[in-house]
Amino acid sequence: MYLFNGKILRVDLTNNKVKVESWDVSKAKEIIGPLYLAAKILVEEVPKEADPYSPENKLVWATGAMLGTPAPVANKSIIVARSPLTNAWGDAIASTYAGTQLKQAGYDLLVVEGKAEKPVYIWIHDDHVDIKDATKLWGSSTFDAFSTLKKELGDKVSVVAIGPSGEKLVRMACILGDDYRAFGRCGLGAVMGSKNLKAIAVRGTKSIEIADKEKFNELSKKMTSTIINAPARKNFHNYGTSAGVVSFNQMGNLPVRNWTRGYFPNAEKISGQRMAETILVERKACWRCPIGCGRIVEIKSGPYAIPKTAGPEYETIGALGSLCYVDNLEAIAKANYLCNFYGVDTISAGGAIAWAMEAFEKGIISEKDTGGIELRFGNADAMVKMVELICKREGFGAILSEGVKRAAEKIGKGSEEFAIHVKGLELPMHSPYRFKCMGLQYATSNRGACHNRGSPAYVARGMTNPEIGLDKVMDGLKEEGCGVVTKIHQDACTLVDALGYCKFGIFFCKVPLTLLADLYSAALGTKATLEELMKAAERIWLVERAFNIKMGLTAKDDTLPKRFEKEPPPDGAVKGQRVKLDVMLKEYYEARGYDELGRPKKEKLGELGLDFLIPILYGE
């Protein structure tokens, strides 16, 4: 058997049972593999009435198809479940080495079911799987959980864990890897917490078999050379993902003051360049990565002192920096450290705090509500303190820990109008004012506001993919053509995710997608064309969409915050811009094959061999 193990590991925490199932690897060309299987498990096995925190919800960890191979930047795995933030499809991707170890242990997927009576962790060591007592770990930080389990199980073990925030069911809680890489979005750490699951420790020693090793190695070298020689690689290595803060600000892509402005005067103070000059102490690369965009920072003294730890990524700098009008890089790094320590998604935390700051300045909430914290835009101390309160689920932080949608519903008084989210998931840090197609992407992404499950703005920034029909650079300020481009790019991103590649290495370094198809074919031993793999990716997207429809979402949920349609920014490169979503949605629905309710049409399902979804979607 090549590339895959053909095994699904199921762990039933309610009944303390473990079993292994097989899946048909011969269908890998049609479905790519684990991500499709994860989506199918959720749509078929999670009942509509199952609350995200109920034992009936399932947490599925799917390895990328290319994990465990020598292919460069093949380091991603994905965890999926019903999201506590959106009550719909939730997923989060990370490049943590634990995903590779899971596959090397012999499993393509891990399915966690039920709820343990007391805190536990799962210990996977090749064919040996145990559900072990984690009472002594409960309440500990993610970092302490990592060190304790590594001392107990050995340094070669990889661990993913939740912190106190996941245990306390903070709806934006994340799952952190012991190499600082996070399954960040959608609140999946709270799903682990609801199951009394503190951590998953993995040690895999098996090799992944490649069908045509000579061809595979030849193609891998070609891909590595492409990445190393790409201009983007040097920029990412030197300055990390926040290399573009200043240029984003100039073009109007940086989020400012809860999306009310188009320009941040002090952008350079929170840039990757400033980080390199001040608090950066090391650069870090993920498994099989020749880029090394990871940051290790240290602040030795002062109010924001932190030990040597992971530095903030661009999304964190945008969310806890410019979105909150904070220009103190050390404060952002401190807040990032707290989020990792307790296990919280920095994007959602920043989105909730920015909303609260606007509510404070408009007089909707006061220091009486915030516990004496002057929660004004630009107040770095207040931002850091509120991050800590969110993580601990204390004070006003307990309200924000529910996510911006629920927080606004609780506070009311018109604050719902500027609660910036889609389907309950706070927006990432790329402006729909600047790239209209990103507004459409946010509105239609299966997990809510998301910049990674489709990034059509790449095409507007010159990262075209002629091999899939994206051969022209778009005008980011125009809506025309966004529907088709967004649909194609969503499928392309799904393909990259299912294969387990890093998008920086693929899209920014301009690796041809045909090369990915050739590598997959060489590994699998079956010829798979790019066209066939794009169809497989489309299948995955529609199964995820079907899960949302099953959970009660309809076309009315494919929307944007009204701010983007009615409140043009008063300054910057996007001054006066609005987003016309309806125009883009119509074109997108036609390209996707959705009906007026947002369901994939029966003929589209039949065309892709997804007839099993018809009873779920149409009640037949």
Extents of the domains making up the chain = 7-203, 237-426, 436-559+580-618
3-class state of residue 261 by DSSP: strand
Average pLDDT, the chain: 98
Average pLDDT of 490-506?
98
Contact 422, 560 (CB under 8 A): yes
**Residues of the chain with pLDDT > 70: what percent?**
100
3-class state of residue 504 by DSSP: helix
Q: What is the pLDDT of residue 177?
A: 98
Q: What is the pLDDT of residue 547?
A: 98
Q: What is the pLDDT of residue 511?
A: 98
The tens digit of pLDDT for each residue in 247-291 reads 999 999 999 999 999 999 999 999 999 999 999 999 999 999 999
Contact 23, 37 (CB under 8 A): yes
Q: What is the pLDDT of residue 168?
A: 98
Q: Using 50, 70 and 90 to split pLDDT, how confident is the model at 20?
A: very high
Nearest CA-CA partner of 370 in 349, 390, 397: 397
Q: What is the pLDDT of residue 12?
A: 98
- Rounded distance between C-alpha atoms, residue 298 and residue 33, angstroms: 40
The residue with tokens 């220091």 is: 367
- Rounded distance between C-alpha atoms, residue 222 and residue 511, angstroms: 10
620 pLDDT higher than 90: no
Q: What is the pLDDT of residue 516?
A: 98
Just give the CATH number of 436-559+580-618. Answer: 1.10.599.10
Dihedral angle computed from the Cα positions of residues 221, 224, 229 and 232, in that order, rounded to the nearest 10 degrees: 160
The tens digit of pLDDT for each residue in 316-351 reads 999 999 999 999 999 999 999 999 999 999 999 999
Average pLDDT of 80-90?
98
Strand 197-203, strand 294-299: pairing? unpaired
The tens digit of pLDDT for each residue in 500-517 reads 999 999 999 999 999 999
Strand 306-310, strand 89-94: pairing? unpaired
Q: What is the pLDDT of residue 172?
A: 98
| Residues contacting residue 388 through CB under 8 Å, at least 6 positions apart | 338, 397
Average pLDDT of 560-566?
98
The residue with tokens 């109008």 is: 417
- Report if pTM > 0.95: yes
The tens digit of pLDDT for each residue in 153-206 reads 999 999 999 999 999 999 999 999 999 999 999 999 999 999 999 999 999 999
Q: What angle do CA 284, 287, 293 make, to 5 degrees?
A: 35
Average pLDDT of 481-493?
98
Nearest CA-CA partner of 359 in 393, 386, 327: 386
The tens digit of pLDDT for each residue in 508-561 reads 999 999 999 999 999 999 999 999 999 999 999 999 999 999 999 999 999 999
**Helix locations, 195-277, DSSP H:** 213-228, 231-239, 245-251, 272-277
The dihedral of CA 500, 505, 507, 510: what is its sign? negative
Element (H, E) at 614: helix 614-618
**Residues of the chain with pLDDT > 90: what percent?**
100
Q: What is the pLDDT of residue 208?
A: 97
How many CA atoms are closer than 13 Å to the CA of 279, on its beta-carbon side? 29
Identical fold between 237-426 and 436-559+580-618: no
Dihedral angle computed from the Cα positions of residues 437, 85, 294 and 74, in that order, rounded to the nearest 10 degrees: -80
Identify the bridge partners of residue 158 per DSSP, sorted by sequence position: 202
Q: Using 50, 70 and 90 to split pLDDT, how confident is the model at 374?
A: very high
For 57-110, give the DSSP string.
S-EEEEE-TTTTSS-TTB--EEEEEE-TTTSSEEEEEE--HHHHHHHHTT-SEE
Average pLDDT of 407-411?
98
Average pLDDT of 368-392?
98
| CATH 1.10.569.10 given to domain 237-426 | yes
The tens digit of pLDDT for each residue in 57-78 reads 999 999 999 999 999 999 999 9
**Helix locations, 345-452, DSSP H:** 346-361, 367-370, 380-392, 395-400, 404-411, 436-444
Just give the CATH number of 7-203. Answer: 3.60.9.10
3-class state of residue 514 by DSSP: helix
